């Protein structure tokens, strides 16, 4: 049987032919776009114009410094936070306010707010068919509120205390009247709330004040009664009389003791002077005596006279003898007066001693009295504190009551909001915008028609052409190399294919299929691929794709004693399985192996951990985890895994300089560290390279991109780049987990 055999890779899209279809069908595209644009223009022209207006409210405290209640300073004013302003948005859109505005503006009489009166024929058919609820079943008030809410928009301006009330309507005057009415209703509602709060406060404070008056009187009466019963008289400085007397008596006792001591000391000095015959002139108390002073003056005068007479008279002269006799009498009188002074000092000391004893007795008595008074003062102070607290509470209640009553009587209740932008009647409708609608309809319809034309051309096959290098050769029979089958001829195409597959695979092929028809080249290729799967991978497929097998890569890593294996997968996640297969293969040989997943999607570690999300290298770089937290066991081999992790990649990459340190630590702990980098170049893997590093490129389909990546790595300084592919690797059935993840 003769024919032409082709595969999906033998054809390609002819972009020139594909986009040329747009030029061939330009008239159809333009006509369709013009028709849709005309329809959009008609619909936009027939649509009812909508007008929109808005009112803006500012939430702020309106209390002035002159009317602010006592005790509330500037920093104590209640200012609504973000949640409070959002709550006010809900209050503005509440049912009570909307009902009040709807009743005030008589919205129920407008057809715009009655869905039952404006039902179109299509809507009525849908209601009859049960596909739409009948608006006439709702009460009129609910229909008005439903239409009201659909046209109303209330929102808070971000990062501000401004609330915007928007309303749209076919009537521009109504569009401006509704938001203004809602704002006024909101202010009235807030004012009513404050009035209600003030009324409740006065109603509660009035009986409380009456009760507090009675309690204050009782507390002050208890204080006065206890003071009179306990005889707690108050002296100077608001202290108890007993305590004050005790203090004064202590001072008097100290003074008396000092006076007694001084008198005894003076008497002792006079006594010693008289007893020893010494001079008493040095004693101040003796000298202070007036009589002794006069006697001393007389003594001095006599001595002066004796001295004067001695110049003319002899000592035995009667005149001189008389004067000497008078002088001797004066000395006796002076000593006698000194003894009297001594007796006075002794008497003074004795009197001071008696006074001291009396004061000590009085002091002891006052100590006992002061102790009793102190105990009673404790109870008195407790009663006074209770009375003072009741009095302060009463004064506070009275102040608040007067403030609340005055605000209620004068109707001064400032609302914590004000309208700073009222809605005005809009002069231009916001819908429909005919020019943007027509333009969008034209562009959209033209784009959709162009896509439809391209898809039609693509599916028809007219835009397809043979791929570069594709062969479409009629073949009737195939003769395989090495082992020939009798009677099976071999043409040039089969011969070239067989030579490209050296070393050849010996296989016995049938010359015909089950129906007796000759086998084609594709049939022979299929049989050869099946037979090649039974041969060693490195001999059967390696020359065809230019790479080595999983087993060969693992063997080379083991024999070379590599400490690190850096895998680069230009084809993305699909080729990331190569690193997993190599790591498991090396781990099965008894070495300690760790796979480090550096792909963005975690394609390498996902199959090893059954798709679980665990902390990994990003958590380690972000200092959110330790090594013991990020290393887990492969569920299906003896290999360990370090997944991508759950930390923020941007934060982790800021600590990318720690990668060499982490790699050194892992290399010390494991015999081999396998790193899957995904699509990467020579510069991106520089941090991962160290002593004993092997660089491998994994691929599924060998093409120019793979060769370019390998050449780029070699140019970057990695000469021994190995190409590894999992194609043809015999994947066993999924084994039971060898150990649970740590």
Are the C-beta atoms of residues 709 and 533 closer than 8 Å to each other? no
pLDDT digits (tens, 9 = 90+) for 596-650: 998 888 888 888 888 778 899 998 888 888 888 899 998 888 899 999 988 888 8
Neighbours of 117 (CB within 10 A): 12
pLDDT at 377 over 70: yes
φ/ψ of 47, rounded to 5, equals -70, 145
**What is the pLDDT at residue 5?**
35
pTM for this prediction: 0.44
Mean pLDDT of all residues in the chain?
A: 77
Residue 285 CA from chain centroid, whole number? 91
**What is the pLDDT at residue 259?**
80
Domain span(s) for CATH 3.40.50.300 in the chain: 550-724
Q: Which of 101-110, 119-128, 218-227, 320-329 has the lowest mean pLDDT?
A: 119-128
- Residue bearing tokens 């179109």: 120
Residue 189 CA to residue 183 CA, distance in Å, equals 10
370-393 core/surface letters (b: 16 or more CB in 10 A; e: else): beebeebbeebeebbebbeebeee
Q: 550-724 maps to which CATH number?
A: 3.40.50.300
| Better pLDDT: 245 or 518 | 245
Q: Which of 393-397, 494-498, 667-671 has the lowest mean pLDDT?
A: 494-498
**DSSP classification of residue 573:** G
Portion of the chain with pLDDT greater than 70, in percent: 75
pLDDT at 527 over 60: no
Query: Average pLDDT of 330-349?
Result: 75
Confidence class for position 512, pLDDT limits 50, 70, 90 = very low
Structure tokens at 205: 């404070």
pLDDT at 591 over 60: yes
Look at residues 561, 488, 555 and name the one whose alpha carbon lies nearest to residue 518: 488
pLDDT at 467 over 60: no
pLDDT at 520 over 50: no
Look at residues 576, 639, 647 and name the one whose alpha carbon lies nearest to residue 606: 576
| Better pLDDT: 353 or 204 | 204
Answer left, alpha or beta for residue 128, where phi above 0 means left and psi between -120 and 50 means alpha.
Answer: alpha
pLDDT at 168 over 90: yes
**What is the pLDDT at residue 326?**
77
Neighbours of 98 (CB within 10 A): 20
pLDDT at 477 over 50: no
404: Cβ contacts below 8 Å, ≥ 6 apart: 198, 201, 202, 205
Confidence class for position 135, pLDDT limits 50, 70, 90 = low
Query: Average pLDDT of 533-559?
Result: 64
Query: Average pLDDT of 493-504?
Result: 36
Structure tokens at 209: 């004040």
Confidence class for position 508, pLDDT limits 50, 70, 90 = very low
pLDDT at 709 over 70: yes
Look at residues 224, 541, 510 and name the one whose alpha carbon lies nearest to residue 387: 224
Neighbours of 178 (CB within 10 A): 28
Portion of the chain with pLDDT greater than 90, in percent: 24
pLDDT at 180 over 70: yes
Query: Average pLDDT of 120-127?
Result: 63
| Better pLDDT: 460 or 589 | 589
| Better pLDDT: 652 or 99 | 99
**What is the pLDDT at residue 567?**
93
Question: What is the residue-wise DSSP string for 244-275?
Answer: HHHHHHHHHHHHHHHHHHHHHHHHHHHHHHHH
pLDDT digits (tens, 9 = 90+) for 406-439: 777 767 778 889 999 999 999 898 888 889 999 9
pLDDT digits (tens, 9 = 90+) for 718-731: 888 889 988 766 65
pLDDT digits (tens, 9 = 90+) for 61-106: 877 666 666 545 455 555 678 888 999 999 999 999 999 999 999 9
pLDDT at 494 over 60: no
pLDDT at 323 over 60: yes
Are the C-beta atoms of residues 679 and 705 closer than 8 Å to each other? no
**What is the pLDDT at residue 50?**
92
Tally helices (H) and strands (E) across the chain.
24, 13
pLDDT at 734 over 50: no
pLDDT at 299 over 60: yes
| Better pLDDT: 700 or 102 | 102
- Cis before residue 503, ω within 30 degrees of 0? yes
Residue 713 CA to residue 707 CA, distance in Å, equals 10
**What is the pLDDT at residue 485?**
33
**What is the pLDDT at residue 237?**
58
Confidence class for position 248, pLDDT limits 50, 70, 90 = confident
pLDDT at 108 over 60: yes
Look at residues 424, 377, 357 and name the one whose alpha carbon lies nearest to residue 180: 424
pLDDT digits (tens, 9 = 90+) for 13-54: 778 878 888 888 999 999 999 999 999 999 988 888 999 999
């Amino acid at each position: 049987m003769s024919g032409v055999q082709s595969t999906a890779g033998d054809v390609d899209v002819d972009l020139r032919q594909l986009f040329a279809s747009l030029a061939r069908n330009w008239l159809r595209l333009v006509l369709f776009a013009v028709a849709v644009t005309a329809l959009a223009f008609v619909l936009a022209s027939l649509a009812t114009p909508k007008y929109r207006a808005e009112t803006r409210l500012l939430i702020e405290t309106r209390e002035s410094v002159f009317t602010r209640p006592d005790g509330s300073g500037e920093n104590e004013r209640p200012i609504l936070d973000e949640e409070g302003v959002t709550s006010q948005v809900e209050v503005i859109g509440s049912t009570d306010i909307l009902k009040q505005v709807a009743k005030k503006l008589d919205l129920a009489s407008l057809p715009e707010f009655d869905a039952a009166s404006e039902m179109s024929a299509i809507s009525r058919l849908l209601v009859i068919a049960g596909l739409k609820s009948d608006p006439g079943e709702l009460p009129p008030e609910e229909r008005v509120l439903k239409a009201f809410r659909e046209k109303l928009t209330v929102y808070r301006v971000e990062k501000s205390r401004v609330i915007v009330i928007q309303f749209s309507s076919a009537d521009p005057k109504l569009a401006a009247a509704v938001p203004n009415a809602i704002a006024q209703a909101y202010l009235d509602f807030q004012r009513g709330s404050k009035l209600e709060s003030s009324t409740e406060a006065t109603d509660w404070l009035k009986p409380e004040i009456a009760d507090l008056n009675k309690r204050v009187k009782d507390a002050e009466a208890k204080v006065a009664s206890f003071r009179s019963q306990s005889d707690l008289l108050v002296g100077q400085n608001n202290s108890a009389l007993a305590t004050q007397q005790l203090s004064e008596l202590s001072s008097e006792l100290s003074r008396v003791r000092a006076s007694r001591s001084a008198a005894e000391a003076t008497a002792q000095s006079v006594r010693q002077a008289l007893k020893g015959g010494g001079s008493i002139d040095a004693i101040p108390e003796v000298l202070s005596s007036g009589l002794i002073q006069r006697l001393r003056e007389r003594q001095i005068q006599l001595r002066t006279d004796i001295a004067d007479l001695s110049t003319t008279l002899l000592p035995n002269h009667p005149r001189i003898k008389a004067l000497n006799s008078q002088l001797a009498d004066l000395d006796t009188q002076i000593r006698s007066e000194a003894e009297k002074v001594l007796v006075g000092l002794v008497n003074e000391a004795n009197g001071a001693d008696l006074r001291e004893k009396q004061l000590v007795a009085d002091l002891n008595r006052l100590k006992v009295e002061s102790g009793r008074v102190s105990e009673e003062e404790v109870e008195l102070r407790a009663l006074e504190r209770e009375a003072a607290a009741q009095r302060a509470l009463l004064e506070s209640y009275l102040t608040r009551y007067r403030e609340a009553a005055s605000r209620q009587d004068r109707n001064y209740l400032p609302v914590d909001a004000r309208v700073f932008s009222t809605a005005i009647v809009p002069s231009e409708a916001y819908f429909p915008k005919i020019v943007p609608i027509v333009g969008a309809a034209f562009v959209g319809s033209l784009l959709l028609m162009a896509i439809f034309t391209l898809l039609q051309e693509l599916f028809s096959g007219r835009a397809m052409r043979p791929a570069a290098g594709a062969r479409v050769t009629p073949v009737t029979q195939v003769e395989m190399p090495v082992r020939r089958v009798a009677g099976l001829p071999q043409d040039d195409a089969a011969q070239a294919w067989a030579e490209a597959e050296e070393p050849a695979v010996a296989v016995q092929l049938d010359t015909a299929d089950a129906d007796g028809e000759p086998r084609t080249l594709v049939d022979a290729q299929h049989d050869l691929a099946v037979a090649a799967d039974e041969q060693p991978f490195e001999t059967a497929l390696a020359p065809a794709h230019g790479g080595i097998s999983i087993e060969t890569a693992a063997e080379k890593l083991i024999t070379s004693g590599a400490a690190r294996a850096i895998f680069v997968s230009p084809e993305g996640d699909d080729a990331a399985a190569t690193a997993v297969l190599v790591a498991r293969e090396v781990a099965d040989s008894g070495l300690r192996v760790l796979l480090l997943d550096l792909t963005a999607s975690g394609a390498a570690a996902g199959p090893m951990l059954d798709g679980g999300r665990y902390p990994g290298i990003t958590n380690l770089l972000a200092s959110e985890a330790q090594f013991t937290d990020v290393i887990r066991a492969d569920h299906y081999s003896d290999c360990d895994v370090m997944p991508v992790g759950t930390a923020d990649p941007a934060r982790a990459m800021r600590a990318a300089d720690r990668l060499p340190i982490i790699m050194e630590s892992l290399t010390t702990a494991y015999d081999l560290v396998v790193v899957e980098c995904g699509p990467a170049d020579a510069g991106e893997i520089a941090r991962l390279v160290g002593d004993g590093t092997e660089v491998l490129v994994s691929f599924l389909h060998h093409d120019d991109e793979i060769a370019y990546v390998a050449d780029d790595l070699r140019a970057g300084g990695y000469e021994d780049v190995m190409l590894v592919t999992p194609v043809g690797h015999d994947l066993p059935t999924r084994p039971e987990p060898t150990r649970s993840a740590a």
